[in-house]
Structure formats: structure tokens, C-alpha cells
Amino acid sequence: MRETVILFDLDGTLLDSTEAILLCFEDSYEDFGLQAPERKRIKALIGHTLDFMYEHLGVEKDMVCDFVDRYKFHYRKRSKLMTKFLPRAKEAIIEASKFARLGVVTTKTGSYSIELLKHMKVMDYFEILVGREDVVNPKPHPEPILKALHLMSVTNCSNVWMIGDTSLDMVSGREAGVETVGVCCGYGTINQLKKSTKVIQNDTYSAVSYIKNITKA
């Protein structure tokens, strides 16, 4: 088996599902007869779990689960129609598969994410996918990455990499003891990424190329 392992975040790293996410948030508020927050407030929280997002958008704690359920109801109908690859992301997956074992670590619902990646014809490139329901503590906690490595039977983290677009991904990777590469094609700002990783690339293909060159050295 290949020694190099690359774990990818989804939204903002491989996929662009921004419009679907925003519309589903707006629909969930409408379902309860409420006005949704401004889109820029919602976008600023993408990458966090849905319950975290709703709480920080002002939803009362005892209503958060209801809002999450409505969001998921709408998202499942929209995700396949309104999600696309980020530029060069599919090429990044294919290139990475040539020299590394691949996995996905996301705060999205895992079952929906697997369904979506199968629809986009790339799930077969990944050995595992760890989603929100697979862990107690989501990113930035290291548990999701450690869970992924456990499922892949990886015991040596010396050549394991996490690619993501937010500081949540970078902190999770660092705390799990793996290398991290931040990408500027998603939701995190360059300043946030600089605070949490030493390596930043323009997009995921560039990140994969960087890892390939490092592992060859």
C-alpha cells in the first residue's frame, strides 16, 4: 500500500455547494415563519457543524435540532442539482490517487456526502469518508482525522496530510499530528489560514502537487 495518505475536506476544498447551503438555510427559517440572517453571516460560518451555525446565528438551543432537520430535508433535494466541483478539484483527486491513499473528513452529514460523491462519480477514489454523525467531536477537534486514520489502519502519521480551506481543518490536522495544507479556494480567509498552517496553496490541485513534490524529495 502507498505510504502517503491525503485527507480532504469537502465544501470549499473539493466542492462548491454555496448556493445550495444558503438556500437551505433560508428555507429552514421560512419553514418557521422567520426571516433568515444575511447571507454573509451564514457564509462566514460555513465549515462548522449545522448546530454550531444555527446557534451562532441566534436560534434558541431548544430549536436548533428542528432547524437542522429542516435544513437536511431541503439539502437532500438540492445537493446533487446545485453542487459542482471547484476549479481543478476533480483533477486534484485523480492526481492524488496516483501516489496516495485518499479519504474525506467533513462536518457535513456523512451519508449525504457519500451519496453526493457517488453521484459525482468520484467516491471510488476514497477509501473512507468520516462525516458529522461518525464522531462525537467535530473539527477543529482531532477526533475526525484520528477516526479516519483508524479506519484506514494508519499508525504512522509521518506522511499524512490534511487539505482544507478553513482553520478548522488546519487545527484538527495539527492536533491529530498530521501535516496540513490550507487552500484559498473556499471559505476561510488568508489571514485565518496563516494563523493555523505554514503551507497555503491557491487551490486543491496546487496543494496535491505540493504534497507530491514533497514526498518525492
Quick check: 1 pLDDT over 60? no
What the chain holds in terms of domains, given with CATH numbers, is 5-16+84-216 (3.40.50.1000), 18-82 (1.10.150.240)
pLDDT of 121-170, one tens digit each? 999 999 999 999 999 999 999 999 999 999 999 999 999 999 999 999 99
pLDDT at 215: 87
pLDDT of 51-93, one tens digit each? 999 999 999 999 999 999 999 999 999 999 999 999 999 999 9
Q: What is the DSSP track for the chain?
A: --S-EEEE-SBTTTEE-HHHHHHHHHHHHHHTT-PPPPHHHHHTTBTB-HHHHHHHTT--HHHHHHHHHHHHHHHHHHHHHH-EEPTTHHHHHHHHHTTSEEEEE-SS-HHHHHHHHHHTT-GGG-SEEE-GGG-SS-TTSSHHHHHHHHHTT----TTEEEEESSHHHHHHHHHHT-EEEEETTSSS-HHHHHHH-S-EESSHHHHHHHHHHHHH-
At 60, list the grid cell.
Answer: 434558541
Residue 128 in contact with residue 104, Cβ under 8 Å? Answer: yes
pTM over 0.85: yes
The residue whose grid cell reads 437536511 is 72
pLDDT of 27-39, one tens digit each? 999 999 999 999 9
